[in-house]
Structure 1
């Protein structure tokens, strides 16, 4: 039986944080999380190494709230640059596929800079060049709500991209930055996939055919993204089961469905969570209801979020999450070549089709 250490493991959307630290975003239950809330300590790094993680697309910059989007995003990039400098023995900033390959060879963890909301572009397409220069490699067009680029998954009108959103897709293509359609509305996703000159991705999602919730993608969306050379990452989130209580078995089922729809060369993982587990689950549950209520009141929550839905899969978390996924995929009958693709090679191949060498 193999383990995650036998593979290149790339989390297409995840985090580096010790959520048990007193001021961490998870411990504090903050609605708006910033990079300054993160705790990258010895445990964070040790857990990441032990998990087999090779690289992770982290969320930085503006996602929601009252902070000035562009200025806050530039500050967040500075914060992450400092975090990586301070932990250079363990972390490396990723700009190219070679950086990920070298990180694995060096025993370090690659950090991919990504946005979960494109609103920081503002009305200035020149900012895309600035983000590119600063090392941003992934831009998700929308969060759950609508923005000036297009409709998110919870926008009832499902209008697709705006005219300016189409220009932003073109600008991201010009700079060889990934266009991520996670959280997007169905028409936004379909339109962006059709007009993009380069393959696009859905870095963290589930399959709506298995759980009919807006944060999951229809087979039409999955198939179109894959058919154009793109990538789909399956998350470890409650939306994988309409009960709100997703299990490791649900993760495997969604991966299997995505493979059946997209083909085995286009599916990977984007957990939407860190490696280090929350130790005090009872305490966390007590504050969760307030956090979900705040998201709902702010209009940024998603259908399927409830006071009793943990934002992770309880039996597929922590240091063993990737090792356990390997075991479950082997149990499913997947050969090592397919597991290798799902764990990271498909993301790496997709990145090679989009990023500069």
Structure 2
């Protein structure tokens, strides 16, 4: 079983085939970055069409049982998620509606402050708002897992404390291994461990150490160092892989509708549109080599199972059954 906590971009049929051929059991998509309720419902509807058009390759999954069915049927399970919470539009009853539409993951904030809390890129993190605390309660009740990947430090710690279910950082790395606003401090890692939550490790070059971008064994080394920090039960995969993501898509992710100024997200101004690619992963199907790389690093078969999927399944079970 190979589970990826977050991917984004245009999941055309060729991408779905690569995911299947790469052995992925389940992948969380990105339905929206900046959209409100209507945009978000359009995105969900488009995925329903995609599922019908590619029913031999993929299925939308809404539960752990669905993920196991996808695995048994040789299909890629797609878990529907958002990289922001704008689809709720400040309405406390909307999490229930979106849960009924099949949404199972929602990142609390993206790259700017919103009505839930602070982003990792704000100069000052305000912390979780009163609405944010109530929203997490509704998400817990209706089976939408809270994602804190782009969320500010203070807001993340408050969200972990507020949630009655394990949360996820679906796509980031430890800041002690790669200092970056998007990566997570030891304090956040400790809070994730204490609440039986999970960190999905990313391959995105701008937030990943050079040694982990050079080879799959280097990435397995980063996994091992993270396990040293958090323990074997709290680490998974969250590649943040993007499909058919070129300059227009990057600009939309970074700028949205909120600014006229240049924004670069996790990138540097010197490589805003040309970050070096992963040397070992020309496409996501090459992630199929990870179990062997982890074994070479000394992980047991049970450990490999946890890192590649079982840890995600435990957190999914706790959130939406």
Residues 271-301 of structure 1 deviation map (CA, whole Å, 9 limit, x = unaligned): 1115x7x7xxxxx9xx759957993735461
Change (3 A) 1:159 1:250: farther
Is residue 312 of structure 2 the alignment partner of residue 340 of structure 1?
no
Which of 237, 254, 258 is 2:226 aligned to?
Answer: 258
Structure 1 pair 240–348 and aligned structure 2 pair: CA distance change class (3 A): same
Go from structure 1 to structure 2 and tell me whether the alpha carbon gap of 1:146 and 1:11 turns closer, same or farther (over 3 Å shift).
same
2:233 match: secondary structure: coil
Separation of aligned partners in 1, 2:42 and 2:238: 25
Q: Which of 268, 282, 288 is matched with 2:236 structurally?
A: 268
CA contact (8 A) 1:117 1:143 kept: yes
For 2:12 and 2:159, the matched residues in 1 are separated by 35
2:12 to 40, 44, 52: 40
Aligned positions, number: 314
Q: Secondary structure at the match of 1:157?
A: coil
Determine the C-alpha separation between the residues in 1 that align with 2:59 and 2:84: 24
2:190 to 213, 220, 223: 223
CA deviation profile, 1:136-189 (whole Å, cap 9, x unmatched): 000110112211111111011022111111111111111121011111111111
Partner of 1:28: none
Q: 2:66 aligns with which of 85, 90, 99?
A: 99
Q: Which residue of 1 aligns with 2:258?
A: none
Alignment of 1:190-209 (within 5 A): 190-209=157-176
> Structure 2 vs 1, CA of residues 54 and 238 (structure 1 numbering), >3 Å: closer, same or farther?
same
Structure 2 equivalent of residue 302 of structure 1: 266
Q: Does the CA contact (< 8 Å) of 2:267 and 2:275 recur in 1?
A: no
The alpha carbon displacement at 1:226 in A equals 2.0
| Alpha carbons of structure 1 residues 223 and 254: separation in structure 2 relative to 1, 3 Å | farther
Structure 1 residue 164 and structure 2 residue 131: aligned?
yes
Distance 1:290 1:317, change over 3 A: closer
Q: CA deviation at 1:329?
A: 1.4
| Conservation of the 8 A alpha-carbon contact between 1:234 and 1:251 | no
TM-score computed with the length of structure 2 as normaliser: 0.89
**Deviation, structure 1 residue 238:** 1.5
- Tell me how far 1:335 sits from its aligned partner: 1.5
**Which sections of structure 1, spanning at least 5 residues, go unmatched?**
1-7, 16-24, 26-37, 279-283
Query: Residues 335 and 292 of structure 1: is their aligned pair in 2 closer, same or farther, counting only changes over 3 Å?
Result: same
- Measured at CA, do residues 12 and 232 of structure 1 come closer, stay the same or move farther in structure 2, by a change above 3 Å? same
* 1:177–1:188 distance in 2 versus 1, CA, 3 Å: same
TM-score of the superposition, structure 1-length normalised? Answer: 0.81
**CA apart distance, 1:123:** 1.7
TM-fit CA distance, 1:254: 2.9
Give the superposed CA RMSD: 2.6
1:353 and 2:321 are equivalent in the alignment: no
Q: Which moved more, 1:287-296 or 1:114-123?
A: 287-296
Whether 1:178 and 2:145 are equivalent positions in the alignment is yes
Instruction: Tell me which residue corresponds to 1:110.
Output: 77
CA contact (8 A) 1:144 1:302 kept: no
**Between 50-59 and 245-254, the greater mean CA deviation after superposition:** 245-254
Q: Is the 8 A contact 1:215 1:303 kept in 2?
A: no
